[in-house]
Structure 1
Amino acid sequence: MIHECTLRVRTYECDAYGHVNNAVYLHYLEYARYEYLRAIGFDYPGVVKAGFGLYVARVEIDYKKSALPDDELVIQSWPIKRGAVSGVMQQKILRGQDLIAEAKVTWAFVNAEGLPTRLPAQWDVPGLHPDR
């Protein structure tokens, strides 16, 4: 499943060069991952309330083109790897047909102490697995 969400670049997200600051892309990707989790039925608020977390362990971003104020961006997200306590999501940021950036985000499910732990069955939804 490839999930898509859309957002529009706001002027305050741009730097002195007039394009989106590289750090802002982390926010765009995080927003899209949360929307992906919502779409697959993953109860993120329930996970946090129960004392667990879904932490980002690594982000690799390749910047391809600049995004500019008022651009409408589409962010695609999908799982590409799933292990016992972690996984990897692929994400692309597009403006029309133009690839703006692409990323691989490694996540880990953690307990209340912040240590990696297996996902309890109630939160191990099919959308977290690339083959389901």
Structure 2
Amino acid sequence: MPHLFHLTVRSTDIDSIGHVNNAKYLEYMEWARFDWIISKGFTLEELKRLGVMPVVVNITINYRKELRMLEEVQIKTSLIKHGEKSFVLRHKLFNQAQELASDADVTMVMIDAKLRKAVPLPEAIVQAMKDEM
């Protein structure tokens, strides 16, 4: 079942064309991604305690419908796969009319917070992911 995150488009998200700037879609997805990982019990403090941090290494995004100021947006985030050191989340952004406005697959790699090198996903995170799949 996808994790749900809601937001309202703000005036500062709008570009000169009058719709949400393309970079803001990525920011919206980042908010949803952190909400997803926190919902699994992995706050920033817990990740620091584990000595790891997830980093984005790839995003493939599709822009399908424009979003406008004050529009209510729903983001559905789902884990689509995980490996030894990485995982892939799919974000789907829906506008007020429940039309797909954007979707993206985001690949993240877990790194050691001090060494800044890829490391295996901690067992607690793997278990949380197994519960979702």
What is the TM-score normalised by the length of structure 1? 0.91
Which position in structure 2 is the counterpart of 1:40?
A: 40
Deviations for 1:48-98, whole angstroms, at most 9, x for unmatched residues? 354321001111110001000000000000000110000100110001321
Secondary structure of 2:104 counterpart: strand
Q: CA deviation at 1:125?
A: 3.5
Which position in structure 1 is the counterpart of 2:98?
A: 97
Secondary structure of 1:118 counterpart: coil
Counterpart CA distance in 2 for 1:74 and 1:131 is: 20
Counterpart CA distance in 2 for 1:99 and 1:2 is: 15
The aligned runs of 1:1-132 (5 Å cut-off) are: 1-95=1-95, 96-111=97-112, 112-126=114-128, 128-129=129-130, 132=133
Q: CA deviation at 1:103?
A: 0.3
| % identical aligned pairs | 31
RMSD across aligned C-alpha pairs, in angstroms? 1.7
Q: What is the total number of aligned residue pairs between the two structures?
A: 131
Amino acid at match of 1:124: V
Structure 2: 5+ residue stretches without partners: none
Q: CA deviation at 1:129?
A: 4.0
Structure 1: 5+ residue stretches without partners: none
Counterpart CA distance in 2 for 1:31 and 1:131 is: 19
Residue 58 to residue 98, structure 1, CA distance change in 2 (3 Å): same
